[in-house]
């Protein structure tokens, strides 16, 4: 059991016959009245995000989330295929179930599958990836206003905004959580 006063980002709780992950929380202590915790909860079954307030003493059971390493193999139409590297079992997931989690992941890279009671609900890509730029416009000398960026397409097909000095064929490092350019490799 976890009390609302101990809520943190990423904690998963069972509430109202559903599993929710805390994506944002704020402890509020108004000048008048009792303190409360304001949260944004994401349903892991895909029913969207809800906002809810709790009294700090309310308790909820913490959901057990299993994380397993899987290798992303390939895309076949609208199915994405993964393999467990320990027992070589393969699993296919639809594009709808995955969302945008794989936009920076190349084939044969490792990802983490998040599941509850055997049902996969999310995929965590690696935090940082190195990808080659396949298409971008050339940057011109003197065209460098402070922090100027340009769009660049990487080998997975995703678009990233990079500084003007980065060219086609360069290998760059990307933060997959925000989709931001980090550095040229």
Q: Which domains does the chain have, with CATH numbers?
A: 2-60 (2.30.30.30), 66-124 (2.40.50.140), 128-184 (2.40.50.140)
Separation of alpha carbons 68 and 37, rounded Å: 32
Separation of alpha carbons 89 and 82, rounded Å: 8
Calculate mean pLDDT across residues 112-128: 82
Q: What is the CA radius of gyration of the chain?
A: 21
Digit-coded pLDDT (tens) for 60-106: 998 888 888 899 998 888 888 899 888 888 888 887 777 777 888 88
Asked if residues 139 and 167 have their Cβ atoms less than 8 Å apart, the reply is: yes
Coil, strand or helix at 73: strand
45 contact partners, CB below 8 Å, separation of at least 6: 18, 19, 121
pTM: 0.67
Asked if residues 110 and 71 have their Cβ atoms less than 8 Å apart, the reply is: yes
Report residue 52 as tokens. 């809810």
Asked if residues 103 and 111 have their Cβ atoms less than 8 Å apart, the reply is: no
Q: Confidence band (pLDDT; 50, 70, 90) for 144?
A: low
């Amino acid at each position: 059991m976890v009390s609302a006063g101990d809520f943190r980002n990423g904690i998963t709780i069972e509430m109202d016959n559903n599993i929710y992950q805390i994506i944002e929380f704020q402890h509020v202590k108004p000048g008048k009245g009792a303190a409360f915790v304001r949260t944004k909860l994401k349903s892991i079954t895909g029913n969207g995000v809800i906002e809810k307030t709790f009294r700090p003493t309310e308790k909820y059971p913490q959901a057990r989330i299993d994380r397993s390493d899987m290798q992303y193999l390939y895309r076949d139409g609208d199915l994405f295929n993964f393999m467990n590297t320990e027992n070589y079992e393969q699993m296919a997931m639809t594009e709808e179930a995955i969302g945008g989690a794989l936009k920076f992941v190349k084939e044969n890279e490792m990802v983490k599958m998040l599941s509850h009671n055997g049902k996969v609900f999310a995929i965590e890509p690696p935090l940082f990836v190195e990808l080659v730029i396949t298409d971008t416009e050339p940057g011109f000398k003197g065209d460098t206003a402070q922090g100027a960026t340009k769009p660049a397409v990487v080998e997975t097909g995703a678009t990233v905004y990079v500084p003007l000095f980065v060219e086609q064929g360069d290998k760059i490092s990307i933060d997959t959580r925000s989709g931001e350019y980090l550095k040229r490799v």
